[in-house]
């Protein structure tokens, strides 16, 4: 991968405000911290191409380059190894440099893939789900069968390890998180965002920029529930085990079963449910 360079203003991950707190008969003003939320327009361009607008996402400021690259990769719009650099701002006006990320590629960007993805996203729910399942099966590399092997005790320890690594959540209480772990429970990277999908895109983007994909020897732990999109994005990145503190959707389970991905939900206390492909967990 080429040397990645980018520049942007300091992240506004959290802001301070005054709130009126009511607790029983007690009413008082106090300082509080809120998670930041701002739009980011993601564009892509190959050599000699004008940047093409791909998506606008509402995100927590911070790790914009990772978010842009991770989104493009998990949506199947780039392979990942063609990222040259990430620029910020509109080259014509230089307005709002934090709000526009342009991913510069060493190969031509296929803009037709954007229309195909948007068509699936705007179809009726049932068609969307089936079309997306078939699509990701085609573009995902096979996950390693039965590997990695992870002890039950490691799985049980993931929620605490993820929570302990959430620095901005500690300040605000208002962010989702995605954590990447090795098979022994060692934390590789954690990312936070107001959107769980953004948190995962930031995480995957960090690994794309580190030339670490596919993530066949990694375990993903996410806060909240597991949607189809979480399973999809993890599978595209090559992650064979996905864990969450809450329940998966039915389509997420179907996708995990078809992709050969281990899916763990309701991971709380000393227990959890395995919804798909339990052979990677030493029970």
pLDDT in tens, 8-56: 433 566 678 788 989 999 999 988 777 778 899 999 999 999 999 999 9
pLDDT in tens, 44-61: 999 999 999 999 999 988
CA–CA distances in Å: residue 91 to residues 9, 57, 96, 159, 165? 16, 20, 11, 42, 36
CB 219 within 8 A of CB 239: yes
Cα 194 from chain centroid (whole Å): 11
Q: How confident is the model at residue 2 (pLDDT cuts 50, 70, 90)?
A: very low
The predicted pLDDT at position 130 comes to: 53
Active-site residue list = 125
pLDDT in tens, 212-230: 999 999 999 999 899 999 9
192 exposed, middle or buried (CB, 10 Å; 0-12, 13-18, 19+)? buried
Spatial neighbors of 119 by CB under 8 A, at least 6 apart, are none
Cα 159 from chain centroid (whole Å): 17
Q: Which has the minimum average pLDDT: 34-43, 111-120, 149-158, 215-224? A: 111-120
Identify the three-state secondary structure at position 224: coil
- For 147-282, which CATH superfamily applies? Cytidine Deaminase, domain 2 (3.40.140.10)
Q: 158 vs 90, which has greater pLDDT?
A: 158
Q: 180 vs 36, which has greater pLDDT?
A: 180
The predicted pLDDT at position 140 comes to: 79
The predicted pLDDT at position 166 comes to: 79
User: Would you list the domain boundaries of the chain?
Assistant: 147-282
Task: Read off the pTM.
Answer: 0.86
Sign of the Cα torsion 52, 57, 58, 63 reads negative
HSE-CB at 45 with a 13 A cutoff on CA atoms is: 17
Backbone angles phi, psi at 40, to 5 degrees: -135, 120
Q: 1 vs 76, which has greater pLDDT?
A: 76
Averaged pLDDT for residues 92-96: 57
What size, in residues, is the chain? 283
Q: How confident is the model at residue 82 (pLDDT cuts 50, 70, 90)?
A: very high
């Amino acid at each position: 991968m080429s040397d990645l360079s980018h520049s942007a203003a300091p992240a506004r991950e959290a802001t301070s405000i005054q709130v009126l707190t009511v607790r029983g008969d007690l009413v008082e003003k106090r300082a509080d911290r809120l998670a930041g939320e701002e739009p980011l327009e993601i564009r892509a361009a190959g050599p000699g191409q004008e940047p093409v607008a791909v998506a606008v996402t509402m995100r927590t400021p911070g790790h914009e380059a990772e978010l842009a690259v991770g989104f493009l990769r998990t949506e199947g719009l780039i392979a990942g190894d063609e990222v040259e650099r990430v620029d910020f701002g509109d080259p014509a006006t230089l307005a709002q440099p934090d709000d526009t990320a342009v991913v510069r590629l060493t190969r031509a960007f296929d803009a037709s893939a954007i229309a195909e993805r948007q068509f699936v996203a705007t179809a009726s729910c049932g068609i969307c789900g089936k079309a997306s399942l078939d699509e990701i099966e085609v573009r995902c590399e096979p996950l390693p069968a039965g590997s990695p092997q992870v002890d039950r005790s490691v799985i049980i320890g993931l929620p605490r390890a993820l929570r302990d690594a959430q620095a901005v959540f500690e300040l605000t209480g208002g962010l989702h998180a995605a954590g990447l772990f090795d098979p022994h429970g060692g934390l590789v990277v954690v990312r936070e965002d107001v959107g769980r999908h953004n948190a995962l895109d930031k995480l995957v983007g960090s690994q794309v920029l580190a030339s670490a994909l596919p993530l066949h020897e990694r375990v993903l732990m996410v806060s909240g529930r597991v949607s189809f999109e979480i399973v999809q994005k993890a599978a595209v990145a090559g992650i064979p085990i996905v864990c969450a503190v809450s329940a998966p959707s039915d389509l997420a389970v179907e996708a995990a079963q078809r992709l050969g991905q281990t899916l763990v939900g309701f991971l709380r206390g000393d227990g959890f449910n395995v919804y798909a492909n339990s052979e990677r967990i030493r029970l």
